[in-house]
Amino acid sequence: MSIVEQYAKGMYLREEDFEVKRIICHNGMGGCFEHCGLLAYIDKKTGKLVKVEGNPDNPLSRGFMCPGRRIAAETKNWPASLLYHPNQLLYPLKRVGERGEGKWQRISYEQALDEIAAKLKELKEKYGPECLGFVEGTYRSDAFLVRARFSNAWGNPGNYTSPGTICHHNNWALEQMMIGACIETTPLISEKTRLLVSLGFNFPESLPRTWQVIRTQFRKNLKLVAVDPRVTETVREADIYLQIRPGTDGALILSWIKVLIDNDMYDKDFLKEWTNAPFLVRTDVMKLLRESDIDPKGSSENFVVWNEKTNEIAVWKSRNFEYAPKEASPALKGTYKITLANGKEVECKTVWQLLIERVSKYTPEYVENITWIPAEKIVETGKLLWTHRPGGIAKGVPPCQTGSDNRWHMALVTLVLMTGNLDVDGGQVLGRHKPGPVINGRPFRESIYELQELVKPEVKKKQLGYDEFRLSSWRAFDLHNEHYKRVWGVPQAQASHTFGSPWSTFVKAILEGKPYPLKALIIWGGNPMMWAPNTKKVYKTLKSPNLELVVVLEHWMTPTAALADYVIPSAAKSLEHSYACNFEDTFDLLWVGERAVKPLGERRSDFDFFKDLADRLGVGEYIPWKDIEEYERLKLKEMLGITLEEGAKIGAVFSNTPGYLQTDFRSYAYVDPKTGKPRGFATPSGKAEIWSSILEELGYDPLPQYIEPPESPISTPLLAKEYPLILTTGGRFQPMFHSENRQWGIGFREQHPWPICDIHYNTARELGIVDGDWVWIETRRGRILQKARVGPHIHPKVVNVQASWWYPELPPEEPWLGGAFISNANVLTLDDPETLCPMYGNWWNRALLCKVYKAKPEDLQMLPFIK
């Protein structure tokens, strides 16, 4: 009897029979983003994974395992149940029938790579390197660096697309333009935190370990405000609950700003010293007034304020980080007449004055009609942002998953700045997209190795969405990168999902050949049949004869893999290969984990795939490492001076260099010992820019605005009569993570067997629906089946539909495609071009109009799995 069988039977295991590996729990193996440390027990004789348990020595998780993973481990021996699942892909497959027909031929890894490389070479010669697109997922891999090196060396302009477009990355791209880095998604909650606002963030489902820490260590010290149309566990714990209409968060934020301004509750000193709130804006052209406007010899890098001391203008010298004259006292509010260098007199207003005017209409009474939140509650919670400091806002993905989010997210950044909550203990930490961790003066920064310099300016202009969605393209990236390198000494990460092309640009290039034909896709770490909007159009796109090559790297035969020409079995990180990563250069700490076992079958890491492809396409010199483990070992040795095993024993490596420590709050105020000047922000002015000069240069309105959803009782009242309910979807639910691990036998599906549609009991009663009924949820784009969960836990006018559902127990070939159209919420979502965010390309997953009705018995007869 093997050790695995002994363990399954509850028999005693001898210590000398197994080896312990320190691994990291992460998405792709059934985890989330929290990177908890695990101990993996490996049978010395067979090399198989026997069991896992929480690693008590990991400095972050300290032995914690979330309920979903712990139950799966106890009932199904996860992650061994995942790794050795009979449906795991072990060998490369080549399509021999029609795309989606389900006819495959098993081939060797070498043959697969040879044929893929030959086809890519043929397509490059005919259409150019821009004919290749990369379709990705949410942090499913640690190989983004090597993807960047491969594409840059091969001449690709950066045609990458991912669900990051609607999952925080749209906000992070905007924040980089405004403050040079990113505010952490959740505040740094400590014993000093006095206020936590949960804006559509359900901690127990999204960050279970963080929620445990909040409840057990810090809950008694802080006031919790929850904003959500659903009554989640976070809401039940809250002191104040704001039940908001989906898609109207921006109006609430703008009203909070007005409440604070009207009550003189904002940090004037911070705004004057560290932001461009006092900078003057020409109202004739709505652009910042620059020194070059008033002085022919002046610099366009310098900006102008009104000096209250002398009642005349003063100039902010951006590179010197000082005013001229130095003792200038900039006015925060006001309207002024300024004479330009050409003698013309123009009206100018301060940035802060223009913001005051912009928010003037968002009174609590006006916003009550938009959001459904009582005006008195808007006032009460708005004032808390000032009276209960430090504190901050945990912004979940719900607001991100709309086409209007970026146009008001700048208001949230402004809210953090005006309350003085930026980068303070207990407040909103300036954490992501800084250069850390910095160990012994050296940054652990993958962007150093990306070879961005290989992408020439004329190639960058070929990037899909280069002109249309400028915030996500090279246009914004390069404008910001200049200042990022100046402040931090290293380049911004091209591999990050804040950079790339929205999915809509891929669809247009494939189906219409505009602006040029996209002929090949490498889909890795993602399942676009589940994550991309308007599933029917996704299917049409992936099936298009215009696509001559579709390669999918996967663990399973997903609906997306079923439509591929080649399926390459992918090794699971931290199970089948080592893991040393700082999350695409977005975190100021480094996670390190050993691999648990050798890759099964002919599975390869994503890193190995891109390296082997580069070797065959003549750019192998740019990826000189043998495999991912060699790269990670060399990287750890060069940057940190440690071995992989030493790093795994530590689990998480933090900065140890002054000015970059996690306890170094107000990092923008850190004084460079060489210059004697503050570090400032990685922006053109060196200040936090409430009016972003980069957004201005890109042609966008730099001030926030609320946009009513394109489908709503207000914008489309006639449509609302046919579709009277408001749809929201995309929220996290344990133990699932996006579309992963829906297979029976792993231990997750057993805990959450069916897709759930939340509906208020009064609404359900009117529709003749009872708890547990299968119901149709329908929008203008299609309909899907889910099981009704009836109760008081959601607004009567709102229904919540779980996302990313497919059924691996169904046949993968057409017409089933693993049930991709049966319960998948993206059948319902909106991607009409005119509704997309003009800055970043976000589409609408939420705040859509729908109707719900009970499924008939004959509707269910075609679904044998339900029985």
Domain boundary among 300, 333, 357: 357
Assigned domain for 254 exists: yes
Confidence at residue 270, expressed as pLDDT on a 0 to 100 scale: 98
Residue 335's domain comprises 268-357
In the chain, the amino acid numbered 113 is L
Q: Which residue has the higher pLDDT, 221 or 687?
A: 687
Task: Give me the pLDDT at residue 294, please.
Answer: 98
Residue at 246: amino acid letter:
P
Which residues are 303's β-sheet partners?
Answer: 290, 316
pLDDT at 825 over 70: yes
| 121-153 as b/e: b if 16+ CB within 10 A | eebbeebbbbbbbbbbbbbbbbbbbbbbbbbbb
Q: For 425-480, what is each residue's pLDDT tens digit?
A: 999 988 766 777 787 777 777 788 899 999 999 999 999 999 999 999 999 999 99
pLDDT at 100 over 50: yes
pLDDT band at residue 206 using 50, 70 and 90 as cut-offs:
confident
Q: What is the pLDDT of residue 679?
A: 93
Clarify whether residues 506 and 618 are in a common domain: yes
Q: Is 137 within the bounds of a domain?
A: yes
Average pLDDT over residues 64-69: 88
* Calpha distance 128→122 (Å, rounded): 9
Together in a domain, 376 and 411: yes
Percent of the chain with pLDDT over 90: 76
Tell me: the pLDDT tens digits for 367-394?
Answer: 999 999 999 999 999 999 999 999 999 9
Q: Which of 200-204, 274-278, 858-862 has the lowest mean pLDDT?
A: 858-862
Pairing of strands 322-324, 312-317: antiparallel
pLDDT at 4 over 60: no
Tell me the C-alpha distance between 623 and 89, whole Å: 26
Q: Does 859 lie in the same domain as 769?
A: yes
Count of domains forming the chain: 5
Percentage above 70 pLDDT, the chain: 96
Residue 144 near residue 530, CB atoms below 8 Å: no
Same domain membership, residue 101 and residue 62: no
pLDDT score, position 635: 85
What does DSSP assign to residue 325?
Answer: S
Query: Rounded distance, CA 682 to CA 483, Å?
Result: 5
Determine, yes or no, domain membership for 667.
no
Report the pLDDT value the prediction gives residue 167, as an integer from 0 to 100: 86
Selected residue with higher pLDDT from 713 and 137: 713
Mean pLDDT, all residues of the chain: 93
Among candidate residues 322, 357, 392, the one where a domain is terminated: 357
Binned at pLDDT 50, 70 and 90, residue 819 comes out as very high
Please state the rounded mean pLDDT for residues 714-723: 98
- In whole angstroms, what is the distance from residue 63 CA to residue 332 CA? 50
Q: pLDDT band for 216, please (50, 70, 90 cuts).
A: confident
Residue 7 has pLDDT above 60, yes or no: no
Please name the residues in contact with 658: beta carbons below 8 A apart, sequence gap of 6 or more: 664
Classify burial at 397, counting beta carbons within 10 Å of its beta carbon; exposed 0-12, middle 13-18, buried 19 or more. buried
Q: Which residues contact 97 (CB under 8 A, 6 or more apart)?
A: 103
By the 10 Å C-beta count (0-12 exposed, 13-18 middle, 19+ buried), 810 is classed as: middle
What distance in Å separates the CA atoms of residue 567 and residue 64, rounded to the nearest whole number? 35
pLDDT at 5 over 60: no
pTM (global) more than 0.75:
yes
Instruction: Assess whether pLDDT exceeds 90 at residue 236.
Output: yes
- Domain boundary pick from 398, 432, 466: 432
| Number of C-beta neighbours around residue 325 at 10 A | 11
Residue 201 pLDDT greater than 50, yes or no: yes
Residue corresponding to tokens 């402004």: 414
804 in any annotated domain: yes
Q: Tell me: do 552 and 456 sit in the same domain.
A: yes
Instruction: Report residue 600 as tokens.
Output: 């099964």
Write out the two tokens for 169.
Answer: 């990355």
pLDDT of residue 116: 99
Query: Which pLDDT score is estimated for 233?
Result: 93
Count of CB atoms situated within 10 Å of the CB of 18: 20
**Diameter over CA atoms, the chain:** 93
Residue 487 shares a structural domain with residue 620? yes
798 and 854 in a single domain? The answer is yes
- Is 772 found in the same domain as 739? yes
- 769-794: average pLDDT: 98
The secondary structure element, H or E, covering residue 70 is helix 67-76
722: left (phi over 0), alpha (psi -120 to 50) or beta: alpha
pLDDT at 484 over 80: yes
Give the pLDDT score at 10: 54
Residue 362 DSSP SS3: coil
Q: Indicate if 250 and 273 belong to the same structural domain.
A: no
Q: What is the CATH number of the domain that holds 153?
A: 3.40.50.740
d(CA 82, CA 556): 11
Calculated CA dihedral for residues 673, 676, 678, 679, nearest 10 degrees: -50
Looking at residues 624-633, what average pLDDT do you find? 92
Average pLDDT over residues 523-552: 97
Rounded to an integer, what is the distance from CA 598 to the centroid of its chain? 30
- Reduced to 3 states (helix: H, G, I; strand: E, B; else coil), residue 552 is strand
565-621 per-position pLDDT tens digit: 999 999 988 899 998 888 777 777 888 999 999 999 999 999 999 999 999 999 999
CATH code, domain with 826: 2.40.40.20
Q: Does pLDDT of 30 surpass 80? A: no
In a domain, residue 157? The reply is yes
As a whole number, mean pLDDT of residues 686-700 equals 98
pLDDT, tens digit (0-9, with 9 covering 90-100), for 756-781: 999 999 999 999 999 999 999 999 99
Residue 204 is predicted with a pLDDT of 87
φ/ψ of residue 329, rounded to 5: -120, 100
Task: Report, as an integer, the average pLDDT of 618-633.
Answer: 94
The span from the CA of 433 to the CA of 575, in Å, is 27
Please indicate, yes or no, if residue 303 is contained in any of the structural domains.
yes
How confident is the model over 521-536, as pLDDT tens digits? 999 989 999 999 999 9
What distance in Å separates the CA atoms of residue 479 and residue 477, rounded to the nearest whole number?
6
pLDDT the model gives residue 867: 45
Cα distance between residue 242 and residue 256, in whole Å: 13
Phi, psi of 95 (to 5 degrees): -70, 135
Is pLDDT above 60 for 402?
A: yes
204-to-54, 519, 667 alpha-carbon distances in Å = 18, 42, 30
